[in-house]
Amino acid sequence: MKIYFSHGKESGPRGFKIKRLAVSAERHGCAVESIDYTDTMDPDLRVGRLLAALENETDSYVLVGSSMGGYVSLVASETAAAKAVFLMAPALYMPGLGQQEYASKSPHIEIVHGWSDEVIPVENSIRYSKAANCTLHLISGDHALNAEIDVLEGLFDAFLAKTLG
Max Cα-Cα span within the chain: 39
pLDDT score recorded for residue 165:
86
For 67, residues 6+ apart whose C-beta sits below 8 A from its C-beta are 8, 9, 11, 88, 89, 90, 91, 119, 120, 143
130-164 pLDDT per residue, tens: 999 999 999 999 999 999 999 999 999 999 999 99
Residue 6 phi, psi dihedral angles, 5° rounding: -125, 120
Q: What residues form DSSP beta bridges with 146? A: none
Contact 76, 52 (CB under 8 A): no
56-76 pLDDT per residue, tens: 999 999 999 999 999 999 999
Mean pLDDT across 78-98? 96
Superfamily of 2-164 according to CATH:
Alpha/Beta hydrolase fold, catalytic domain (3.40.50.1820)
What global pTM score does this model have? Answer: 0.97
